[in-house]
A and B are shown apart, each in its own frame.
Chain A
């Protein structure tokens, strides 16, 4: 059983060590202000990563999330400006995300185009369509109640934190304890076998892409309310951050194995490492190199551990 948690364990240890270093050498890091900033910065990545974990678990990938994010935030802002209530605007953002995700899903599951091709196409198409429609202009003149969802930054942060905890718990429990969750693993592990035990793998794939779209829409809406203008080019590079976090979190890119816990740790590590190094006084020149080294270190620890475990077992069988 141990080996199944080792990736999570090495990540947690790495994060702990990083936090320990920060606690000793950089007091300012744990200030409420910095924590809140870090959280808000990474909140969209975390939400989208939940969906991406499911997508990658089924053996697919979605690189269009950055573009879906941009489209959803613009649409949400436009809806709010047109006088719709906040809740309606949020629903609209989620629906736009759902539609884009469902489009991806249908093309992958039923037209059987590889997901990397489909989502590359929608990534480019959505982004370009948005640029053309907005002419690159930002959406301003938002109603007053739009920012921070009409509350204060403080309450907004607490509310989204709560929401995030609920989302994480729901997806972790759903994946582990619901039949659909197991169907996600089964589909990614062996699609032909999944078909033979009566799992509708196409439906699972469609559902997963749609859900990723909805979560991206939600993340976009929450993120948009942080500012008084919504840029038409938001979410650039989001897909890379999200995929990196999921993969660092131990989800196999080939599908079938991984966990929400791993993803959460992956987001925390990747999201905090940059600022952490600044706080620790690492020169900006070296920051990226350090970042890479720490991530590589965490991953190879894991590889080493599983390699050792495998060999110990096999060495028992000396002839």
Chain B
């Protein structure tokens, strides 16, 4: 197959692309080439420049210098309109939906071309949205407002948008970061079919297994430079990691047995989490994991009573949840996790202003040194702690969101997809941090769509299905198969 790709024609080529943002050199002379019918993976650490490169290709960003050639023609002035006309479609890392508009209209706006005075055909828009969603195996209601969608559902709409244009070149920036295995599998099926049709695909991801399984070639970026471009059959995981981070990292989870203490969180009739325990939550998209977390944290008041440290409480608001010693890292960091306009330092200290205040005033030096510690612990790539979080790469924003909760040291910590979009190196570091927190006696509720992460980190795993807990598996009985069968409801499993 490799030779077949070698022979097919080049559909996109970038030469010597440079791009800087206010002093940060995101791309330093990157060249890149894409052939028809290939899946070309783009990998690199957080902040390596992958998303920036993708945005240069779509014309969402203009490079400072360098040339972009599509189907052999050099593009003088690229823009999202120009690139779309050339047959380029993209799934951006940060979902770019219109929250006030319906799913159907979100899809339509990405596909319709032509003058502004044309009529809108609502019925046709709706039917097309339905058909596209069905094609990717989703039963999402086209009438729903985008603001009511979960992260995974937003991602599904993004995929529908990109597929609808019948693009010849498709860019996917971490499309599976918020999807569970099942949706991801479906997506790979689509990718394979598109490749057979001759579509060229640029695939950005931190999930190396995924990449080794489906990519033809792999380009590695490090600090805005192209380090290597290899055929996927010639490399293995350790080598890729070596190329990405310039050092080797073990893939084993740093799970250690820690003494399990008293019950810290009890949801009557469902499950309890003890001090020092990591309780994993598995389930398909829409199975209610995030809703459960939001309910526990008082974001969606339910009126039901839970027990925190042996005391029955009814949590009605996040403020109360924090007082009771709960912490919650949300799945959607842009909506609830970080304030994009505020600096790293301000974000990190946001939930624990008392620790950096003196006489009721914020001590900025203390604030900055606190943030600096987490920036180095979590390997957050940023020019300084005083830059707005909105200017960081996706994975680095995620790390800031996590840092902010680590500062507060709650007694019960709910982590919803803590390593979403985080590179392999930092992932290991975050795993290590989570284990350390457990060692300090924190009870941890870990929600993750990555089964290896859940299996590697959890003491016990609860599996959700259709809004309720379908069963709980101990560490020794939990396997990919046992979790999936509970999630799908095929067998009774251990309850």
Which of B109, B267, B467 gathers the greatest number of chain A CB atoms within 10 Å? Answer: B109
Do B117 and A179 have beta carbons less than 8 Å apart? yes
Interface string of B230-271 (1 = CB under 8 A from A): 000000000000000000000000000000000000010010
Selected A-B contacts with CB under 8 Å, 15 pairs: A176-B120, A178-B118, A179-B115, A180-B117, A182-B101, A189-B99, A190-B96, A193-B97, A194-B109, A196-B90, A197-B96, A314-B302, A318-B304, A319-B270, A319-B468
CA distance A178 to B121 in the complex (A): 9
Residues in A neighbouring B120, C-beta threshold 8 A: 176-179, 181-182
Residues in A neighbouring B116, C-beta threshold 8 A: 178-180, 183
Interface string of B469-494 (1 = CB under 8 A from A): 10000000000000000000000000
User: Which residue of B117, B270, B288 is within 8 Å of A317 (Cβ)?
Assistant: B288
Q: Known pairs A198-B79, A256-B98; list 20 more (Cβ under 8 Å).
A: A1-B143, A178-B117, A178-B119, A179-B112, A182-B101, A182-B105, A182-B109, A186-B101, A186-B109, A190-B97, A190-B98, A193-B96, A195-B80, A197-B110, A252-B100, A311-B301, A314-B301, A316-B467, A317-B288, A317-B302
User: Which residue of A192, A257, A317, A319 is within 8 Å of B100 (Cβ)?
Assistant: A257
Contacting residues of chain B (42-101) with chain A, CB-CB under 8 angstroms: 58, 60, 79-81, 84, 90, 92, 96-101
Q: A178-B118, A189-B98, A319-B295 are in contact. Are A314 and B84 (CB under 8 A)?
A: no
Residues in A neighbouring B92, C-beta threshold 8 A: 196
> Does B291 sit at the interface, judged by CB under 8 A?
yes
Residues in A neighbouring B469, C-beta threshold 8 A: 319
CA distance A319 to B270 in the complex (A): 7
> Does B357 sit at the interface, judged by CB under 8 A?
no
Tell me the nearest residue of chain A to B299, going by C-beta: A314
Do A319 and B302 have beta carbons less than 8 Å apart? yes
Do A186 and B302 have beta carbons less than 8 Å apart? no
User: Which residue of A197, A256, A314, A316 is within 8 Å of B109 (Cβ)?
Assistant: A197
Contacting residues of chain A (224-280) with chain B, CB-CB under 8 angstroms: 252, 256-257
> Does B452 sit at the interface, judged by CB under 8 A?
no
Do B80 and A186 have beta carbons less than 8 Å apart? no
Interface string of A303-319 (1 = CB under 8 A from B): 00000000100111111
CA distance A178 to B58 in the complex (A): 26
Do B109 and A319 have beta carbons less than 8 Å apart? no
> Does A199 sit at the interface, judged by CB under 8 A?
yes
Do B303 and A315 have beta carbons less than 8 Å apart? yes
Do A192 and B96 have beta carbons less than 8 Å apart? yes
Do A256 and B267 have beta carbons less than 8 Å apart? no
Which of A177, A179, A180, A319 gathers the greatest number of chain B CB atoms within 10 Å? Answer: A319
> Does B113 sit at the interface, judged by CB under 8 A?
yes
Which of B100, B101, B112, B304 gathers the greatest number of chain A CB atoms within 10 Å? Answer: B100
CA distance A197 to B101 in the complex (A): 14
Residues in B neighbouring A197, C-beta threshold 8 A: 80, 96, 109-110
Residues in A neighbouring B387, C-beta threshold 8 A: none
> Does B300 sit at the interface, judged by CB under 8 A?
yes
Contacting residues of chain B (264-292) with chain A, CB-CB under 8 angstroms: 267, 270, 288, 291-292
Which of A180, A192, A196, A314 gathers the greatest number of chain B CB atoms within 10 Å? Answer: A196
Do A196 and B302 have beta carbons less than 8 Å apart? no
Do A198 and B98 have beta carbons less than 8 Å apart? no
Do A179 and B80 have beta carbons less than 8 Å apart? no
Do B96 and A319 have beta carbons less than 8 Å apart? no
**What's the least CB distance linking A185 to chain B, in Å?**
6
Contacting residues of chain A (160-208) with chain B, CB-CB under 8 angstroms: 176-183, 185-186, 188-190, 192-199
Q: A179-B117, A179-B120 are in contact. Are A196 and B60 (CB under 8 A)?
A: yes
> Does B114 sit at the interface, judged by CB under 8 A?
yes
Do B81 and A185 have beta carbons less than 8 Å apart? no
User: Which residue of A196, A199, A317 is within 8 Å of B295 (Cβ)?
Assistant: A317
Q: A186-B98, A196-B80 are in contact. Are A177 and B119 (CB under 8 A)?
A: yes
Do B267 and A319 have beta carbons less than 8 Å apart? yes
Do B467 and A256 have beta carbons less than 8 Å apart? no
Residues in B neighbouring A186, C-beta threshold 8 A: 98, 101, 109
Tell me the nearest residue of chain A to B148, going by C-beta: A313
CA distance A180 to B304 in the complex (A): 47
CA distance A188 to B267 in the complex (A): 42
